[in-house]
Amino acid sequence: MNTLKYKGYIGSVAYSEPDKVFFGKIEGIDGLVNYEGESVAELTAAFHEAVDDYLIFCEEHDVKPEKSYTGTFNVRIAPMTHRAIANRAAEAGISINAYVKKILSEAVKQSSSEGYGFLGYDSHAPEPAMLMEPDSAFHYGSHSTLHFRIPDKDIALAREIASRMGWEEQ
């Protein structure tokens, strides 16, 4: 989904072909605030104005601008994913709930501008010609951390690949 960002708020972006207009709403608030424009520039200006007006309204009416959340939500996942999470939680010696909270908190804190690190275990036995020097950072059977930058659009793919390899995000 395309979004706009302004003052910490996110706005949705959609297009109505019959009306020839872009439109959206401010996400993450308890109210409903819409905006529209005939061009991207108009839509962006309308979004900024909508956020500013909403914040003024909230201040004048003593309303908390952010949506309130309970901290509880249900997620439907494949049974194999559920099993994998349960196994990883057991290996970590914590509950599934604690494991999922930890992983989600780390994922939300992670910034794409800082790059991502993955901790992996080399499970392939090296061929004699592949043996590395003793001072090498990568030894057979050792943990190695790789840090690299990933464009926002590719983060989900990188996480999926790392997960399939059994690597942990750092």
Q: Is residue 29 part of a domain?
A: yes
Helix H or strand E encompassing 161: helix 155-164
pLDDT at 36: 96
**Do 105 and 128 share a domain, yes or no?**
no
> For residue 159, what are the contacts with CB-CB under 8 A and spacing of at least 6?
107, 169
**Do 90 and 101 share a domain, yes or no?**
yes
**Do 29 and 49 share a domain, yes or no?**
yes
Q: Is residue 97 part of a domain?
A: yes
Sign of the Cα torsion 126, 121, 75, 83 reads positive
**Do 105 and 115 share a domain, yes or no?**
no
Q: Is residue 137 part of a domain?
A: yes
C-alpha dist (Å) from residue 19 to 22, 31, 49, 157, 162: 9, 25, 22, 36, 44
Against a cut of 0.85, is the pTM above it? no
Beta partners for residue 111, in sequence order? none
Provide the domain count of the chain: 3
pLDDT at 170: 58
- The Cβ of residue 158 has, within 10 Å, a number of other Cβ atoms equal to 15
Output the CA torsion 106→110→115→117 (10° steps).
0
Q: Is residue 94 part of a domain?
A: yes
**Do 123 and 96 share a domain, yes or no?**
no
Give the separation between CA 167 and CA 89, rounded to whole angstroms: 15
Mean pLDDT for each 10-residue chunk of the chain (170 residues)?
89 94 94 94 96 95 86 86 90 89 82 47 40 42 55 74 70
pLDDT at 141: 45
Helix H or strand E encompassing 45: helix 40-60
**Do 170 and 133 share a domain, yes or no?**
yes
How would you list the strands of the sheet with 168-169, edge to edge?
143-148, 116-121, 168-169
CATH number at residue 86: 1.10.1220
C-beta separation of 26 from 50 below 8 A: yes
- Domain span at residue 119 reads 111-170
Q: Is residue 120 part of a domain?
A: yes
Identity of the amino acid at 126: P
Give the separation between CA 159 and CA 170, rounded to whole angstroms: 11
Q: Is residue 140 part of a domain?
A: yes
Q: Is residue 143 part of a domain?
A: yes
Q: Is residue 65 part of a domain?
A: no
Helix (H, G, I), strand (E, B) or coil at 153: helix
**Do 118 and 84 share a domain, yes or no?**
no
**Do 117 and 132 share a domain, yes or no?**
yes
**Do 56 and 77 share a domain, yes or no?**
no
